[in-house]
A and B are shown apart, each in its own frame.
Chain A
Amino acid sequence: AQKVTQAQTEISVVEKEDVTLDCVYETRDTTYYLFWYKQPPSGELVFLIRRNSFDEQNEISGRYSWNFQKSTSSFNFTITASQVVDSAVYFCALAAFTGGGNKLTFGTGTQLKVEL
């Protein structure tokens, strides 16, 4: 069985602060993918990133960066110089390939509030 834990329910920061959202996962599969999705107040789900289990290289995209560490089963997401528009719920998700298909197992999400 797969499990994703996002221990931070809610985080509040002031604009321009850096913030890290934690994600810890559990799976017995050796091949899997990890994802981050953003759900802004408007409610849609926006894909941010996908990493596969064989690629531990960290990734940076603008103000966003991701740190994948298999040794600690973590896939943390950092927003540098946060902005009000970053306010949203962020979901970490895991897809493993037992039995076909790649259904996503989501964490419970972290509500990020960025204030002026």
Chain B
Amino acid sequence: NAGVMQNPRHLVRRRGQEARLRCSPMKGHSHVYWYRQLPEEGLKFMVYLQKENIIDESGMPKERFSAEFPKEGPSILRIQQVVRGDSAAYFCASSPGERETQYFGPGTRLLVL
């Protein structure tokens, strides 16, 4: 049973470009979470999605960041007009239900030049 998959594993963008991070949950998991790990900081919750719905986006920055989890295909975290402060590791997690254990993907390391 494949785990949570994230791609790309590493992403380099110049300031002002767009970054798209993809997450495919574990088979049978319909709940997806995104977390960000900034240098020297712990992991911070960003957004929680179920298929076609955003359930909780209380951790998302108000501007430039958006997330979706379409009926078909992976979940996407999109960052528009990236700035150097967006450089971080972005982790996706999935769970089979609302109160179930979250299993994490390997993360995407975003570097903004």
Contact = CB atoms under 8 A, between A and B. Distances in A.
A99 interface: yes
B43 A103 contact: no
A45 B107 contact: yes
Interface string A16-52: 0000000000000000010101000001111100100
B104 A47 contact: yes
Contacts of A101: 31, 48, 55-56, 98
B55 to A, nearest CB: 5
Contact of A109 (B31, B42, B103, B107): B42
Of residues B42, B56, B89, B101, which shows the largest number of chain A Cβ atoms within 10 Å of its Cβ? B42
Interface in A61-116: 91, 95, 97, 99-109
A102 B99 contact: yes
B107 A43 contact: yes
A96 to B, nearest CB: 10
Interface in B87-101: 89, 91, 93, 95, 98-101
Contacts of B45: 103-105
Of residues A33, A37, A95, A104, which shows the largest number of chain B Cβ atoms within 10 Å of its Cβ? A104
Given A99-B56, A104-B43, A108-B42, A37 B33 contact: no
Given A43-B107, A100-B56, 10 more contacts: A35-B101, A37-B104, A44-B106, A97-B99, A99-B56, A101-B48, A102-B99, A103-B48, A104-B102, A106-B42
25 contacts: A37-B104, A43-B106, A43-B107, A44-B105, A44-B107, A45-B43, A45-B104, A47-B101, A47-B103, A91-B42, A95-B99, A99-B56, A100-B55, A100-B56, A101-B31, A101-B98, A102-B99, A102-B102, A104-B35, A104-B102, A106-B42, A106-B44, A108-B41, A108-B42, A109-B42
